[in-house]
């Protein structure tokens, strides 16, 4: 058995094990606006929907928020406040993370494998091959809970298609605008209480499913703009004070088809898997931090 150090918290749970690589906080801050992604409009119902040439870029665009880091190895990003992860890109050594349904008030906490880059008095541990596994100068990742989204409610079957009123049982559906200059979205939210304090969430994946026409989705003085469209939808989760939210909204770069099918409903929701929220507490984490 190789030599190592294991440290436990007061409740007996493991804090870190030097034989395993520990994640540390490398950056925190607010998301920033990055760019607009135009939605895709189906040119004609006669054209095959599985070919890119069947779609044209729409005048409806989605503001995408995010942040960038250098040297990402195995990143985990947690957010507090509205947002759904919709991918990342890499250019050279810079990785950019993208979120839809977010705003400049959404907080992020970026964790990655601990680095041997900070100076000062502390404890640094390495495995037998010389790889850093723990650095006490960094704030370690401490997962406090994992929560799976609930299943959707019982569907109504129409022409053999299962139609759902909301993507998660108990969710509330509203027309929501995330920034003043952005479009309105059909948003379903479900709050799950955990305890006191502020929480942040990372999701392992998002589901994609269909959203029918939402004629009743409106906001004061501004009707929901996508009410004539059937389009793509996606889900995710984010942290809040006292708990977390599961949320779904119009998908990033969504494909839109003018239709009256499945009005007021969602369809083709994968029910063999559900997004899972990995939860941390943020009360003791520095913010902003770089």
Instruction: Read off the pLDDT of each residue in 164-172 and give the average, rounded to a whole number.
Output: 96
**Does pLDDT of 219 surpass 70?**
no
- CA contacts within 13 A on the Cβ side of 14: 8
Instruction: Read off the pLDDT of each residue in 167-188 and give the average, rounded to a whole number.
Output: 92
**Does pLDDT of 286 surpass 70?**
yes
Of 98-112, 207-221, 258-272, least confident by mean pLDDT is 207-221
- pLDDT band of residue 223 (cuts 50, 70, 90) is very low
Strand pairing report for 76-80 and 55-70 = unpaired
Q: Identify the pLDDT of residue 182.
A: 85
The domain segmentation of the chain, as residue ranges, is: 6-142, 146-281
**Under 8 Å CB-to-CB from 263, ≥6 apart: which residues?**
212, 213, 214, 215
- pLDDT band of residue 228 (cuts 50, 70, 90) is low
Structure tokens at 168: 């998660």
Please give the backbone phi and psi of residue 67, each rounded to the nearest 5 degrees, phi first.
-160, 165
């Amino acid at each position: 058995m190789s030599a190592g150090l294991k440290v436990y918290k007061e409740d007996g749970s493991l804090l870190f094990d030097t034989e395993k690589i520990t994640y540390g906080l490398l950056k925190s801050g607010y998301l920033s606006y990055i760019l607009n992604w135009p939605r895709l409009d189906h040119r004609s119902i006669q054209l095959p929907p599985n070919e890119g040439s069947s779609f044209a870029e729409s005048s409806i665009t989605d503001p995408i928020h995010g942040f960038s880091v250098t040297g990402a190895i195995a990143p985990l990003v947690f957010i507090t406040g509205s947002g759904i992860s919709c991918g990342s890109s890499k250019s050279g050594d810079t990785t950019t993370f993208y979120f839809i349904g977010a705003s400049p008030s959404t907080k992020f906490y970026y964790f990655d494998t601990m680095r041997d880059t900070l100076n000062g008095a502390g404890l640094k541990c390495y495995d037998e091959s010389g790889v850093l596994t723990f650095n006490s100068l960094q704030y370690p990742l401490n997962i406090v809970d994992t929560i799976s989204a609930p299943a959707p409610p019982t569907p109504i079957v129409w022409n053999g298609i299962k139609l759902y009123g909301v993507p998660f049982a108990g969710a509330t559906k509203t027309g929501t605008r995330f920034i003043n200059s952005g479009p309105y979205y059909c948003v379903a939210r479900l709050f799950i209480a955990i305890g006191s304090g502020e929480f942040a969430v990372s999701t392992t994946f998002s589901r994609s499913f269909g959203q029918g026409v939402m004629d009743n989705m409106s906001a004061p003085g501004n009707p929901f703009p996508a009410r004539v469209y059937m389009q793509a939808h996606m889900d995710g989760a984010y942290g809040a004070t006292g708990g977390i939210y599961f949320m779904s909204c119009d998908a990033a770069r969504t494909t839109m088809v003018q239709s009256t099918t499945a009005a007021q409903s969602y369809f083709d929701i994968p029910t063999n898997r559900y997004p899972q929220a990995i939860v941390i507490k943020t009360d003791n984490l520095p913010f902003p931090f770089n």
